[in-house]
Chains A and B, each alone.
Chain A
Amino acid sequence: GESVGLHLPTLSVQEGDNSIINCAYSNSASDYFIWYKQESGKGPQFIIDIRSNMDKRQGQRVTVLLNKTVKHLSLQIAATQPGDSAVYFCAEEGFQKLVFGTGTRLLVSP
């Protein structure tokens, strides 16, 4: 079946470093991908999205890269801050249905 997975369950970085969170997806027909941030006790919060006709999209301190050849998605966070500590999920959407991956916990130490 369709699945969206993450390579690393936990990523620890120092404050100020750049963070890279990776995600693999299996449905080559997916055309829309989203990164969500989830803090403890809260619902997922939209960070950035990208459509399959693009390979890179930038936001404020965040960049999403899409490699359709190897079905790989990554989230880059520049100058990581303690407030970035959370669980990050990638998700793919088809027919208005989101399929989430397991999540990567980002730990930012001062």
Chain B
Amino acid sequence: EAGVVQSPRYKIIEKKQPVAFWCNPISGHNTLYWYRQNLGQGPELLIRYENEEAVDDSQLPKDRFSAERLKGVDSTLKIQPAELGDSAVYLCASRWAPTSEQYFGPGTRLTVT
């Protein structure tokens, strides 16, 4: 079974430019999470989806970040405009509702210059 797929794996952009990340969760997993992980730190939740509904976006900086999961499967996370402090690894995870275990993708490493 394929795991959580994320693309791109690496992205380098200049500040003020837009950037988007894509996530394909494990088939059948209705819960999807986006996390941000700064160097040497644990992941921090940005947003959680239950199917296509964002049920927890309290940590998402809504002035520049947006996310969508239109059909309750794939999801995209966008930053516009990017700032230097957005440099981090953006992780996607998914979970099958009856269980507690979250499965993480490999992440997208964003560098803003």
Interface pair B106/A41, CB less than 8 Å apart: yes
Interface pair B41/A42, CB less than 8 Å apart: no
Contact flags B24-58 to A (C-beta < 8 A → 1, else 0): 00000001000000001111110010000000100
CA distance A43 to B103 in the complex (A): 9
Interface pair A49/B104, CB less than 8 Å apart: no
Interface pair A91/B42, CB less than 8 Å apart: yes
Q: Does A102 contact B (CB under 8 A)?
A: yes
What is the size category of the interface that chain A forms with chain B? 20 to 34
What secondary structure prevails in chain A residues at the interface with B? strand
Q: Which residues of A lie under 8 Å from residue B41 when comparing CB positions?
A: 100, 102-103
Q: Which residues of B lie under 8 Å from residue A97 when comparing CB positions?
A: 45, 48, 56
Interface pair A43/B42, CB less than 8 Å apart: no
Interface pair A46/B101, CB less than 8 Å apart: yes
Name the residue on B nearest A6 (C-beta): B42
Given contacts A96-B31, A97-B56, contact A43 B40 (CB under 8 A): no
Most chain A CB within 10 A, of B4, B40, B105, is at B40
Given contacts A43-B107, A103-B40, contact A49 B101 (CB under 8 A): yes
Name the residue on B nearest A95 (C-beta): B56
Contact flags A34-60 to B (C-beta < 8 A → 1, else 0): 100000011111100100000000000
Interface pair A93/B100, CB less than 8 Å apart: yes
Contact flags B90-109 to A (C-beta < 8 A → 1, else 0): 01010000001111111100
